[in-house]
Structure 1
Amino acid sequence: MAQIPRPARAADRSHAVVIGAGLAGLTAARALADAYDRVTVLDRDTLPADPAPRRGVPQSRQLHVLLARGAQALEELFPGFLEELLAAGATRADTQGEAHWYLDGHLLRPAPSGVISYGASRPRVEHHVRARVEALPGVVVRERVEVLGPVTTPERDRVTGVRVRPRADGAGEAGGAGETGRAGETAGAGEETIPADLVVDASGRGSRAPAWLEELGYPRPRQTRVRADVVYVTRHFRREPHHLGGRSGVALVPFPGLPRGGAIVSEREDRFAVVLFGLLGEEPPADEAGMLAYAETLPGPDVAEVLRTAEPLNEPVRMRYPASARHHYEKLGRHLGGFLVTGDALCSFNPTYGQGMTAAAQQAIVLRTLLARDRDRGRSRGAGGLPRRFFRAAARVVDTPWLLAAGGDLRFPEAEGRRGPADGLLDRYLTRYRAAASVDPVLGRTFLAVAHMLQPPARLMSPGHVLRVLRASGRAGGPVRTES
């Protein structure tokens, strides 16, 4: 059988393929467009012409917020993006000065912080990013395409493309690892092989990359999981000036003893997204009376007030998220050349922390930086062990949001996951920190800067902040609790 030839040197590394047209795939395509002559993005869905939820992104109907670091990253990748998003109706708010935060039942002391977040639906953000990517020279987004697996050299040491087939509406899930393609295989009916010098898997939590690698003789990456069994329900309401006293939103964070939470985000000036969530067996109802009763058990009156007084715009939508999962590609001793994994396929977080879009955009910046460094050093694109370098750099990006999400979930004794020997001591300090932040706005500002990934978590434990915690602890009152 004829084998797929290696790309000619004159066109070395000229084509990159991205699997998945979600935010991770689109931002990866943006990074690749600076280094490759052509970039093809493949997605299983029919992509909507207007901002709308789609089948392949079920969480797109849920509340989303663009964290401060994520906003900065998207602006870096797409200059002018934030102004474009605001012009389309998104909102901008100081997270401490224009929203209420309840940490362990304590109301964070409101004050201007300079930590700016953006309220917009996931479909809205993805729509504007996709439009920017499709406008890039050499980039093509193909919809309703199912990727069956990578094609490799006969030695299976690097990818030479991907094997795909058209996907009809209503088709079942993509095939398993046994359908992985290799150079020299004969394509089945309707299949085609797309040659590529680099393949980036951004297909989300359902990524089959570990199985593909195993089929090709590579080890599966080790996985770390933290199981919190999150269930959340989102509904949209008409926003009026009197709601929340004019504030843009609220966040009520679960804590041991009360594994329930909620949040409100202004997606537009006239529209709220409201989410209720529960962990470890707590499940918010999806009916109007049940949602209100659930909200009334939360610290503070904010969510219940909106549910009680605002006009609903649609029906509630429920979603389950069993566990955060991190795939440690950075620890593999051997990598398939020309094959990367990014976004939720690399690491997915408890969605109540709102970190997914930000982490994906940061990983795209890492990829762009590495490719630019190769170019500046005169190396061919992707040379010098790009997978090894990318996975190590991406792991450093993932470290902070993983620490925040996994650490927050592991506060609950019932959560399943590995705990370190110092976790108990750290948790006791951070419990005091949260209470102290109700009276010291500086502590609140730092907490939010860390939560929005603008500062490292170690900043919470700097000597100056430890001293502030000790001074403020005696002045902090008891938690605000609304009894059921």
Structure 2
Amino acid sequence: MNLARRSTETRTGHALVLGAGISGLCAARALSEVFDRVTLVERDTLAGDGAVRRGVPQGAHVHSLTVRGANVLEEFFPGFVGELAADGATLATALSEVEIVFFGSLLRKVPLGTVLQTSRPFLEDRLRAKVCAAPNVTLLDGREATAPLTTSDRTRVTGVRTARPGAPGSTEDIDADLVVDAMGRAGRGATWLATLGYEKPAEQRLRVDVAYASRRYRLPPGAMGPDKALLVGATPARPRGLVLTSQENGIWVLSLYGFGRAHHPPTAPDQFLLFAQELASADAREALRRAEPVTDVASFAHPHAVRRHFHRLRRLPDGLISIGDAICSLNPIYGAGMTVAALEAAALRECLLADGTRNLPRRFYRSAAKALHLSWLFSTLADKSMPQVPGTRPALSALLAQSFRATMRAAATDPKVAAAVWNAVSLTGSPAELARPHIITAMLRNWPREPAES
């Protein structure tokens, strides 16, 4: 398909994107191909100075864009990943430059593609500049969407009412042919459906009770040898994890996490490092001992993983869709959020280029559900292997934990299993790869004989 030609044929009207985070920016890029005008509305005032902004409280913590997510950005902006690298971002070859310990096993190091490692503000600032460079894209920051505008019969959303936060009397109505809710996990679009007389989407809500604490450091050159990242995953017996990763311009970020209040990482600097030393490799412990902190310790809590089933709704108004965390908010320890946001934007683009805005909400939600299904399945199964995650029968939790543990033992020596694990985690391939005969055989060969993990 000639995308440029088809987008010209279907170009129409004004699209309004609420939220200028990764999801909103990717959506705006997709919409810019088929709409005459695209307007981004963002509550925060955007300085573009590399600082963590109020509307993205997770911005101080580790972020990486998987191979698949980077490929979507490359499709949107050819050469973008190379530009980021030239500007200081880290490109790491997985798994040869990434040390991963899952369920107590160090995965076999095999080259499997390039991972983009940057801080969230670094990536978001540059992505926003790219998106807003399009002549038909406008950014309105320092404004909040407060309510939808509709036709009298409420069958179509025709825009939004906005206001400047903390400024009474600053209300402004903005008309649009399509409104995209990219305002995050609170699910404003789902609430708006209810206020308009429609059914809210059914929710799957899994209480994971994960908390993060992170700090950025300058490490001595070569302190981590050839590795550009270290990931140590949680286990049922020790529901704590660590990620130490090189980001832009020689800065590393150390993010610690834990399931359940008793395992949430501390924010006091000395206690923060003690928590890290319990998990880190010998090289990482020594590197952190010699490291220079460049920020304070930041914290962030993620109580629930949430998926909203918009695709199952029988009635939907025209002119309104939700995207990104508003549809699915995964446990952030799996690092899939930005990639899923990019995949949903790619699904939106395909829907628009295929048949314009005709019946768009229903077509998009079905396509987005397919794009995120396997990621949700994999992450929730991993979550349910933790006894600290409520709602899972102990026998199932133990079985899942043993399955993951056996698979990771196999991945420590078998490059095919290591590749399948990485492809599932990074969304490069399907988690269904883990059910192939070779993988199952290797898993059973490594099935733990002891009843519980040491």
Report TM bin, short chain. Answer: over 0.9
SS at match of 2:64: coil
Structure 1 residue 401 corresponds to structure 2 residue 382: no
Q: Which of 409, 418, 439 matches 2:413? A: 439
Structure 1 residue 227 corresponds to structure 2 residue 225: no
**Superposed counterparts of 1:81-480, under 5 Å:** 81-112=80-111, 114-168=112-166, 189-268=169-248, 270-281=250-261, 282-298=263-279, 300-374=281-355, 381-383=356-358, 385-417=359-391, 427-471=401-445, 473=446
Rounded Cα–Cα distance in structure 2 between residues aligned with 1:274 and 1:346: 29
Structure 1 residue 75 corresponds to structure 2 residue 49: no
Rounded Cα–Cα distance in structure 2 between residues aligned with 1:382 and 1:204: 23
Q: 1:157 to 1:350 in 2, by over 3 A?
A: same
Structure 1 unmatched ranges of 5 or more: 1-10, 172-187, 375-380
SS at match of 2:155: coil
Max Rg structure: 1
Residues 422-442 of structure 1: per-residue CA shift (max 9 Å, x gap) = 776555333211111112122
Rounded Cα–Cα distance in structure 2 between residues aligned with 1:418 and 1:193: 46
Rounded Cα–Cα distance in structure 2 between residues aligned with 1:340 and 1:314: 38
Aligned-partner residue type, residue 181 of structure 2: D
Structure 1 window deviating more from structure 2 (392-401 vs 236-245): it is 236-245
Rounded Cα–Cα distance in structure 1 between residues aligned with 2:81 and 2:406: 36
Rounded Cα–Cα distance in structure 2 between residues aligned with 1:73 and 1:227: 30
**Cα contact 2:213–2:267 (8 A) shared by 1:** yes
**Cα contact 1:239–1:269 (8 A) shared by 2:** no
**Cα contact 2:220–2:290 (8 A) shared by 1:** no
Rounded Cα–Cα distance in structure 1 between residues aligned with 2:414 and 2:48: 47
Aligned-partner residue type, residue 246 of structure 1: P
**Cα contact 1:105–1:299 (8 A) shared by 2:** no
Aligned-partner residue type, residue 75 of structure 1: E
**Cα contact 1:239–1:310 (8 A) shared by 2:** yes
Structure 2 unmatched ranges of 5 or more: 1-9
Deviation at 1:85, TM superposition (A): 0.6
Rounded Cα–Cα distance in structure 2 between residues aligned with 1:136 and 1:166: 25
Deviation at 1:459, TM superposition (A): 0.2
Rounded Cα–Cα distance in structure 2 between residues aligned with 1:299 and 1:190: 51
Rounded Cα–Cα distance in structure 1 between residues aligned with 2:23 and 2:218: 30
Residues 185-235 of structure 1: per-residue CA shift (max 9 Å, x gap) = xxx943221111100000012232222111110011111111111111111
Deviation at 1:52, TM superposition (A): 2.1
Deviation at 1:348, TM superposition (A): 0.6
**Cα contact 1:13–1:198 (8 A) shared by 2:** no
Deviation at 1:463, TM superposition (A): 1.0
**Cα contact 2:340–2:372 (8 A) shared by 1:** yes
Rounded Cα–Cα distance in structure 1 between residues aligned with 2:431 and 2:391: 20
Structure 1 window deviating more from structure 2 (121-130 vs 268-277): it is 268-277
SS at match of 2:342: helix
**Cα contact 1:105–1:480 (8 A) shared by 2:** no
Rounded Cα–Cα distance in structure 2 between residues aligned with 1:257 and 1:299: 16
**Cα contact 2:220–2:287 (8 A) shared by 1:** no
Deviation at 1:419, TM superposition (A): 7.1
SS at match of 2:65: coil
SS at match of 1:247: coil
Deviation at 1:305, TM superposition (A): 3.0
Rounded Cα–Cα distance in structure 2 between residues aligned with 1:30 and 1:256: 41
Aligned-partner residue type, residue 255 of structure 1: T
Deviation at 1:255, TM superposition (A): 1.3
**Cα contact 2:420–2:431 (8 A) shared by 1:** no
Deviation at 1:144, TM superposition (A): 0.8
SS at match of 1:164: strand
What does residue 26 of structure 1 align with?
Answer: 25
SS at match of 1:245: coil
**Cα contact 1:240–1:270 (8 A) shared by 2:** no
Deviation at 1:421, TM superposition (A): 9.9
What does residue 5 of structure 2 align with?
Answer: none
**Cα contact 2:382–2:400 (8 A) shared by 1:** no
Rounded Cα–Cα distance in structure 2 between residues aligned with 1:192 and 1:344: 26
Deviation at 1:413, TM superposition (A): 2.3
SS at match of 2:247: strand
**Cα contact 1:23–1:357 (8 A) shared by 2:** yes
Q: What is the alpha-carbon root mean square deviation over aligned residues?
A: 2.4
Aligned-partner residue type, residue 250 of structure 1: L
Deviation at 1:412, TM superposition (A): 1.3
Rounded Cα–Cα distance in structure 2 between residues aligned with 1:420 and 1:12: 54
Aligned-partner residue type, residue 244 of structure 1: M
**Cα contact 2:145–2:163 (8 A) shared by 1:** yes
Rounded Cα–Cα distance in structure 1 between residues aligned with 2:366 and 2:381: 21
Rounded Cα–Cα distance in structure 1 between residues aligned with 2:392 and 2:201: 17
**Cα contact 1:102–1:299 (8 A) shared by 2:** no
Deviation at 1:407, TM superposition (A): 1.3
**Cα contact 2:157–2:178 (8 A) shared by 1:** yes
SS at match of 1:325: strand
SS at match of 1:232: strand
Structure 1 window deviating more from structure 2 (315-324 vs 398-407): it is 398-407
Structure 1 window deviating more from structure 2 (429-438 vs 214-223): it is 429-438
**What is the TM-score when the length of structure 1 is the normalising length?**
0.87
Aligned-partner residue type, residue 317 of structure 1: A
Rounded Cα–Cα distance in structure 1 between residues aligned with 2:101 and 2:320: 42
SS at match of 1:155: coil
Deviation at 1:358, TM superposition (A): 0.5
**Cα contact 1:91–1:266 (8 A) shared by 2:** yes
Residues 386-418 of structure 1: per-residue CA shift (max 9 Å, x gap) = 101101110111112211221111111231346
Rounded Cα–Cα distance in structure 2 between residues aligned with 1:12 and 1:131: 23
SS at match of 1:243: coil
